Amino acid sequence: MDQSCTPLLQALQSSSRRDHAGFYTPGHKRGRGSPQALLQVFGRAVLQADLPELPELDDLFAPDGVIAEAQALAAGAFGADQTWFLTNGSTCGVTAAILAVCNPGDQLILPRNCHRSAISGLILSGAMPIFVEPEVETGLAYCVSPARVRQALERYPRAKAVMITSPTYEGVCGEVDAIATLTHNHGIPLLIDEAHGPHFAFHSDLPPSALSLGADLVVQSTHKVLGAMTQAAMLHTQGARISSQRINQSLQWVQSTSPSYLLLASLDAARQQMVLQGNQIMGQLLQRVDATRQQLQQISGLSILSPSSSTAGFATLDTTRLTVGVSPLGLNGLRVDQILHEQLAVTAELPTPSHLTFIPSLGTTQTDLNQLVQALKKIAQKPGGAEQPAPSIWERAIISMPQISPRAAAFSAQETVPWTEAADRISAELVCPYPPGIPVLYPGSTIMETDLDYLRQIKAAGGNITGCTDPELQTLRVVQL
């Protein structure tokens, strides 16, 4: 296949320029009826291309034209047997992946530091999670180790699949190949939330992609580090362990029947860019970020996550990521993030109480990186005092199953209790600092005092708590006794 082509993007461009009387959605009719304020921000060309499923633009749920061609090109580029375009982000891909492999009551092994979209998949599918604690070091949760996956498989041999997150938000990659071997020896598929790793296939100095290491299904957020528009993602599969028909069906349950062709076309263009220029782009980015990492390592008081860790659950590191620890300065990462954003014109992707993670990508300039270094130098000149201990919620049993399934808890009879009386009750709601979108509590989880303390610290430091009925953390919804 000719990877220089962009069949979907070209078809959309052609349709947007065709002069005809269109009696179809959307209501603004190719920008002619758009609010002037919207036109001023977006420009007429974008709105002209905001089109529905016209005959020449194919159908996302039954593709046999330009979408099918674009998806086939993407499969070839990313090393998959089959690829599906997603217009609801990796969120819908992770949820659909679980729906595709689990029936009600089935067991799924997955990391406790999974994304909240996995909890949605558990609720919708009715599957029972077997949670495996990630390996932890200096307040950072890494990936689950093969040893812990092996232990989970031995304890729960009826599990229908294993799902892991690799890389983590900080770019830490697990031993996907070893976990794939374990999983396949049990005759079940391995699913990978690789939302933060769509660039891995395009440079040899990046970690190997999960598909190249034997994963059966991979979900990638193409928009996070490549050139696609926000909310544009892909789901890839290889082999015969997962039914394509089940994936098709599952995606129809969680995606809009009116997908944005702007997002779809951006996936087509992002794939072409990486195939034609990705190696050069990633090579230049790696050089710039490596130089920046060396500069940051010279700043007294900061700790910089490096690829040298020998901790289990840390196989490799995506060195395009920069994760900076500020606890040695006696500072809270959430407060540092606020100062960076409001006073120093630098905005992190992920602030936590002890670290900040920055995502340089193909659009990052040397000026941006220089500004980051100078901002962190200023931060380091005003230490806060004694080193701050890194708060942690990773003190549970290594392998655990909730008393009731997330689905049963989500649809149970519920009651609201004061925050001070919630310990040891079963949560009926999801409570999740965002980002990174890793739930501290989920429907079905037993509420621990350490969970409540951790959430209080996040809230007090100015963090954003999502998912719960009471974002002020005065009350919690729990399963009624």
**All domains of the chain in start order, with CATH:** 279-380 (3.90.1150.10), 402-479 (3.90.100.10)
What pLDDT shows up at residue 394?
Answer: 66
Region 304-308: mean pLDDT is: 91
* Residue percentage of the chain with pLDDT more than 90: 87
pLDDT higher than threshold 90 for residue 459: no
Asked if 101 contacts 246 with a C-beta cutoff of 8 angstroms, the reply is yes
pLDDT higher than threshold 90 for residue 147: yes
C-alpha closest to that of 123 among 430, 438, 479? 430
Taking phi over 0 as left and psi of -120 to 50 as alpha, with beta for the rest, 158 belongs to: alpha
Residue matched to tokens 């501290």: 440
Q: What is the CA radius of gyration of the chain?
A: 23
Specify burial of residue 306 (Cβ count, 10 A radius: 0-12, 13-18, 19+).
exposed
pLDDT higher than threshold 90 for residue 311: no
Cis preceding-peptide flag for 353 (omega within 30 of 0): no
pLDDT higher than threshold 80 for residue 231: yes
What angle is formed at CA 162 by the lines to CA 160 and CA 166, rounded to 5 degrees?
A: 160
pLDDT higher than threshold 80 for residue 396: no
Rounded alpha-carbon distances, angstroms, from residue 345 to 17, 102, 406: 40, 45, 41
Where does the pLDDT of residue 387 fall: very low under 50, low under 70, confident under 90, or very high at 90 and above? low
pTM comes to: 0.96
pLDDT higher than threshold 90 for residue 395: no
What pLDDT shows up at residue 436?
Answer: 82
Region 414-437: mean pLDDT is: 93
C-alpha closest to that of 171 among 2, 338, 4, 304? 304
pLDDT higher than threshold 70 for residue 389: no
pLDDT higher than threshold 70 for residue 390: no
Region 21-26: mean pLDDT is: 96
pLDDT higher than threshold 80 for residue 318: yes
Residue type, 209: S
Where does the pLDDT of residue 236 fall: very low under 50, low under 70, confident under 90, or very high at 90 and above? very high
More confident residue, 69 or 462: 69
Where does the pLDDT of residue 461 fall: very low under 50, low under 70, confident under 90, or very high at 90 and above? confident
pLDDT higher than threshold 80 for residue 33: yes
- Do strands 82-86 and 233-237 pair parallel, antiparallel, or not at all (unpaired)? antiparallel
Mean pLDDT of the chain: 95
